[in-house]
Amino acid sequence: MATAMLAPDLRRFVVAKIHSVPMLEALLLLRSRADGWTMRELAERLYLPEPRVDALVAELCREDLATHADGVARYAPASGELARLVDELAGTYSRRVVAVTELIHSSVGRQARDFADAFVMRRDE
């Protein structure tokens, strides 16, 4: 599998913090501009409706990767380690887009399966 090419700490970061490819794209856009982005600007660049972008930015804020105030979202990793991992992810994504997107999709699928499994009644219970 292509994801094996990714460093273990980067794989753990992606699985734990990056919930979708649009979330990753939003993070990389925020990282690219120090003065931040309005929701409208992000929506235009990501080709997504503003409510979806609001949700993505909220996720990034919950994961301690961004801030949002006065209608402007900014890249703001809560630690140097998070910043280092995002930098590594940005470089890796530019070289191994398939591996990164496969990892994101596989972890999202696994989370959905785990959630669904929580509601399955087992015969032996």
Residue 114: is its pLDDT beyond 60?
Answer: no
| Full-model pTM | 0.83
CB-count exposure of residue 106 (10 Å: 0-12, 13-18, 19+) = middle
Give the pLDDT of residue 106: 85
Give the pLDDT of residue 63: 96
Count other Cβ atoms within 10 Å, centred on residue 79.
Answer: 9
Q: What is the pLDDT of residues 53-104, one digit of tens each?
A: 999 999 999 999 999 999 999 999 999 999 999 999 999 999 999 999 999 9
Q: How far apart are CA 4 and CA 12, in angstroms?
A: 12
Residue 41: is its pLDDT beyond 50?
Answer: yes
Share the mean pLDDT of the chain.
Answer: 87
Give the pLDDT of residue 3: 53
Going through the chain in order, the beta strands assigned E by DSSP cover 37-38, 66-69, 72-75
